Every structure is written in structure tokens, then in C-alpha cells.
């Protein structure tokens, strides 16, 4: 997929009450930026009959009431919103603490050995990268991240685990992830745990991360982890947010 690819965006039906706007065919930051821009523009437009929009890596699923808004009319509004220039919203940079290895990251040593690294070298590489939140899915608050250093690209496990610890920080393929504060099945490799609760239904904003945000991991020791976990479970914010600057570009909301 390229910026000049005439096949994108394309609109696809998802049953009688779903419209998929597809911007690409793979993991691509530019396509994802367009997804997020359209999601925000659609929310601002407040089109009657639109029930929900779900951003993914490369497409936006729009759920609507066909008795309120006609599919063809909605498609026309969506195309107009997608092509209209607009200011790109700044995302949030989250500094997320992680306790790597040991019982908190049972795959750290094996993954390091696979890549000819020491565990400390792997942690330095993993924590030294800047990750983009591409989408939230699979489980409430499960954040899919791009930006994993190529040296750490690792095929997923051949024997997925039916349960993995809550708040795990993991990698799989060319992706990284932060798990929600519940046990979930996974075939990804577990590098550590964070005290951060990416999902909390008791918060005013239940989902901490949003598509378009960025994450940088900070290694912490066991003592800091225990203290931060207790604070997080008491409702305190233990991830540090910072506003990211909006990149200047000629393409406006269409550029990452």
C-alpha cells in the first residue's frame, strides 16, 4: 500500500448495519493515522444514526442504524469527512513502568537467548524504543503496539497459554502489547509486568490508552513495582502522561 494507491480508501459492507472504511492491507503508520483522523472527524460530525466507530490497524468499522441513516448517504458523508483537510490532534506520550523478567516476565531469558542477547541487552532495546498505539482490542484495554525494534521481532509461541498474568508486557511477531488487568489467553512472549491498569471501569475514562498515543517503557525494580501496584489499585495514576507535539507536514491528517 502506498499513499497513491487508488484502491484505498475503500468502503465495504459489514452486514446491514456496518460500514468498513479500509485504508490499507497491512501494519502501516500512515494508514493508521488516516483511520484515527476519520474516527475523530466522525465523532465531531455527530451523524444521526451512527452508533459506534471502532478503529483498527488499517480500517474503521462504523456501526449505524439503517432505519435512521441510509447506507449510501452515510458513505457519502464518510468520504467527505475523509477527504476534508483538518488539524491533526496531538496524542499522549505515556511513560509506562515495567518490572522485567523473573516471575513477572517468564519468557525474557528465552527470547534474549534466541536473539543472541543478554536479558539486560534485551530490556535496554525494548525500553529504548518508542511505541505507537495502533488499536485497542481483543480484551478491554489490550493495547496493540507498533515500533518493536527489528532485532526483537519474534514469532509467536507454538503453544499459546490459556492464561497469562494481568498487566503483562509482551511481544509477538513485529508487535508489542500491554495487557489489561485481567488474565487473558495469549501466544505472545511475556517480558514483564506493569503496575499500570490500562482498563478500569471505575475511572471516568475507563481506557487509559487511545489509538494514536505513544508509549515508552521504563524499567523498575521489585520494590517500586509493589508500591506502584498498590497505588494503582487504590485508583492512583502511575503512568506518566505527556502531550506529544503534532508533526508538521504537507499532508495534514493523512500523514503519520
The domain limits of the chain are 10-83, 92-243
Kind of pairing between the strands at 131-136 and 214-219? antiparallel
Q: How confident is the model at residue 55 (pLDDT cuts 50, 70, 90)?
A: very high
Residue showing cell 503483562: 168
Q: Grid coordinates in use for 242?
A: 505527556
The pLDDT value given to residue 87: 52
Q: Is the pLDDT of residue 250 over 60?
A: no
d(CA 90, CA 83): 20
For residues 247 and 93, which has the higher predicted lDDT (pLDDT)?
Answer: 93
Whole-angstrom Cα distance, residue 256 to residue 241?
A: 20
The string of pLDDT tens digits covering residues 104-141 is: 999 999 999 999 999 999 999 999 999 999 999 999 99
Average pLDDT, the chain: 90
Checking if the pLDDT of 209 tops 60, the result is yes
Assign 81 to helix, strand or coil.
helix
The three-state secondary structure class of 33 is helix
Q: What is the pLDDT of residue 85?
A: 58
* Structure confidence at residue 122 (pLDDT): 98
pLDDT of residue 248: 42
Q: Name the residue among 243, 235, 232 with its Cα closest to residue 95.
A: 243
Q: What's the topology of domain 92-243? A: Cyclophilin (2.40.100)
Peptide bond into 23 cis (omega under 30): no
What is the per-residue pLDDT for 88? 59
Cβ contact 207:133 at 8 Å: no
For the chain, what is the total number of helices (H) and then of strands (E)?
Answer: 5, 14
Q: Residue 10: is its pLDDT beyond 60?
A: yes
Q: Which residues pair with 83 in a beta bridge?
A: none
* Angle separating helix axes 29-45 and 71-83, nearest 10 degrees: 120
Architecture, CATH, for domain 10-83: 2-Layer Sandwich (3.30)
- The CA distances from residue 204 to 118, 199, 229, in Å, are 41, 11, 20
To which H or E segment does residue 71 belong? helix 71-83
E strand map for the chain: 10-13, 18-22, 50-55, 59-64, 92-100, 131-136, 143-146, 161-164, 168-172, 175-178, 184-186, 189-193, 214-219, 240-243
For residue 127, what are the contacts with CB-CB under 8 A and spacing of at least 6? 98, 216, 217, 218, 219
DSSP H helices in 26-70: 29-45
What's the pLDDT tens digit per position in 159-181? 999 999 999 999 999 999 999 99
Q: Looking at the predicted structure, is the pLDDT value of residue 75 above 80? A: yes
Amino acid at each position: 500500500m502506498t499513499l497513491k494507491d487508488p484502491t484505498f480508501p475503500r468502503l465495504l459492507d459489514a452486514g446491514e448495519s456496518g460500514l468498513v472504511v479500509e485504508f490499507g492491507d497491512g501494519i502501516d503508520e500512515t494508514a493508521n493515522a488516516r483511520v484515527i483522523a476519520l474516527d475523530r472527524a466522525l465523532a465531531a460530525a455527530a451523524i444521526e444514526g451512527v452508533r459506534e466507530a471502532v478503529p483498527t490497524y488499517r480500517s474503521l468499522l462504523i456501526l449505524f442504524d439503517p432505519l435512521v441513516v441510509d447506507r449510501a448517504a452515510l458513505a457519502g458523508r464518510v468520504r467527505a469527512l475523509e477527504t476534508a483537510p483538518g488539524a491533526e490532534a496531538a496524542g499522549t506520550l505515556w511513560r509506562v513502568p515495567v518490572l522485567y523478567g523473573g516471575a513477572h516476565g517468564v519468557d525474557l531469558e528465552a527470547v534474549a537467548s534466541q536473539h543472541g542477547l543478554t536479558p539486560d541487552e534485551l530490556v535496554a532495546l525494548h525500553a529504548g524504543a518508542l511505541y505507537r498505539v495502533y488499536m485497542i482490542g481483543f480484551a478491554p484495554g489490550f493495547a496493540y503496539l507498533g515500533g518493536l525494534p527489528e532485532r526483537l521481532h519474534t514469532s509467536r509461541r507454538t503453544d499459546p497459554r490459556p492464561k497469562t498474568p494481568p498487566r503483562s508486557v509482551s511481544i509477538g511477531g513485529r508487535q508489542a502489547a500491554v495487557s489489561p488487568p485481567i488474565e487473558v489467553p495469549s501466544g505472545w512472549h511475556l517480558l514483564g509486568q506493569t503496575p499500570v491498569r490500562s482498563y478500569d471501569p471505575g475511572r471516568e475514562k475507563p481506557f487509559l490508552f487511545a489509538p494514536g498515543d505513544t508509549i515508552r517503557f521504563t524499567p523498575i525494580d521489585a520494590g517500586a513495582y509493589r508500591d506502584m501496584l498498590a497505588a494503582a489499585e487504590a485508583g492512583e495514576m502511575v503512568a506518566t502522561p505527556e502531550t506529544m507535539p503534532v508533526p508538521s507536514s504537507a499532508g495534514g491528517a493523512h500523514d503519520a
